[in-house]
Amino acid sequence: MRFALEEIKYVCHHLHEAHGVSVFYVNTRGQFAYESPAASIRQSPYYVPLQEQIREHAVNGGQKKMPTFFSINRLHFFRIGLQHEEAALGQMVIGPCLDAGLDETQIDYITELMHEFSNVRVLIEFYQSLPVIGPERFRSMSLLVYSLLYQEWLDPAQIVEISGEQLPKNQQPHTPDLEISRERMNLISHTNLSHERVLLDYVRKGRIDKVQDVVRYSLIGEDELGKLSRRSRIRSEKNLMITGVALICRAAIEGGLNEETAFTLSDYYIQQLEEQESLQAISKVMTEAVFAFTERVSKVKEQQYSSTITACQHYISDHLYDDITLEQLAKLTYLSPNYLSSLFKKKVGISISEYIQRERIDEAKKLLMLTKYKVSDICSWLNFNDQSYFNRVFKKMTGVTPKRYREEGSAGRAAEKREEPEEPEEPKEPKEPKEPKEPKEPKPE
């Protein structure tokens, strides 16, 4: 089998349709190139953190073709490495499923194991939505999938089983910056257990469009709050939401909102929270607070830049891993490429190409600090032509090479331009094309 993407998707889709089990294709970059989970699974807030664990197993579990069985929190999976002419193409992961229906003992185990997931009801509902596939049937399924992919029979003795609940040792840290980077890499807009921290980043940027997608999971319902106070459930939720308002207020100030306005809003919504007597009312006030802060930050940014410039900046931010062209941005804003280029440089102070470059270097800094990805991979993903050019641009903007930046361990120290040994001289980078002159009488936006 040639393993063209469409062929892999075809197999994944019909495997899901035939057996009702979720199927994923994770490529060698750790991206979900295809996923086909059941609707009930996708809608669960537990789905995305589980998805991240699936990714870790696929990326760090080796590239063997043979079916390999593994478990995560008593959820069962098998993966098969996809290879073409000895080149690894990623992993097909099938699961999760249960080997038997839930009983009281299993529920006790799950709730104890997942103590950090505060909504026990939602967690149990997630497990109950999974297909139940016995061990022998699941094993037979793996042999059938392997035969379909490689057109060869496999001795069942060659199947590999990994014991238990262990995740790969080199699991990446989970942080809001890394979460946003992964969303960009996977071209997805979803949320996970770090909803609150991701939400703060969107408040800081005034991204109303992103906030409305996140807020339904960030603002926790009746059974999902940790108890900070033993005296009452209402008091517990008020404490958490008041803390949330304080964090959102700080994020809004960092996003450019006037401090007096931000603190006034904070005081108002904290008082509103204190006056509520039901969980639903508290959640409603918190939702209003999130949108109030985000909308004000958005207006500040719109005043700083026109809607045209803001649209370009948002598009660039969301497509850092794509090939971004001036023509695409011009089409987005309904302006000619020459006029948009001139307008952007006039308003922002730098050219579009330099702005994209800066954003990509900022993204690279996060990946260097938060992951163990190779510098060459980061360079390639962010669309730099070659690593030597990436190194020069990175050093120009940060004062250090990517390798040194990672070694120093913090953005603060990396920002200090230290004396470094002279590196071998490399060919000069090609000059950028001159920006077109600004039209004498620019048309109104």
Is 307-415 a domain of CATH 1.10.10.10?
Answer: no
Report H helices in 188-278.
Answer: 195-205, 208-218, 233-254, 259-275
> What number of residues does the chain have?
445
| 258-286 core/surface letters (b: 16 or more CB in 10 A; e: else) | eeeebeebbeebbebbeebeebeebbebb
Do residues 88 and 180 lie in contact, with contact meaning Cβ atoms separated by under 8 Å?
no
The string of pLDDT tens digits covering residues 236-255 is: 788 888 888 888 999 898 88
Which CATH code fits 5-157? 3.30.450
Which residues does 349 contact at the CB level (< 8 Å), separation at least 6? none
Whether the upstream peptide bond of residue 96 has omega within 30° of 0, thus cis, is: yes
Q: What angle do CA 90, 96, 97 make, to 5 degrees?
A: 140
Per-residue confidence (pLDDT) for residue 339, from 0 to 100: 93
Per-residue confidence (pLDDT) for residue 317, from 0 to 100: 82
Angle between helices 259-275 and 279-304 (to 10 degrees): 170
In degrees rounded to 5, what are phi and psi of residue 25?
A: -120, 115
Domain ranges of the chain: 5-157, 176-304, 307-415
In degrees rounded to 5, what are phi and psi of residue 74?
A: 65, 20
Tell me the C-alpha distance between 88 and 67, whole Å.
Answer: 15
The token pair that represents 7 in the structure block:
């062929």
Tell me the C-alpha distance between 139 and 67, whole Å.
Answer: 9
Q: What angle do CA 297, 300, 306 make, to 5 degrees?
A: 125
- Which residue ranges in the chain fall short of pLDDT 50? 1, 163-173, 186-194, 220-231, 411-442, 444-445
Do residues 65 and 3 lie in contact, with contact meaning Cβ atoms separated by under 8 Å?
no
Per-residue confidence (pLDDT) for residue 408, from 0 to 100: 83
| 194-211 core/surface letters (b: 16 or more CB in 10 A; e: else) | bbbbbbbbbbbbbbeebb
For 309, the enclosing helix (H) or strand (E) is helix 307-318
The string of pLDDT tens digits covering residues 333-366 is: 999 999 999 999 998 889 999 999 999 998 898 8
The string of pLDDT tens digits covering residues 58-94 is: 888 766 788 888 888 888 999 988 887 777 888 999 9
Nearest Cα to 190, choosing from 232, 218, 219? 218
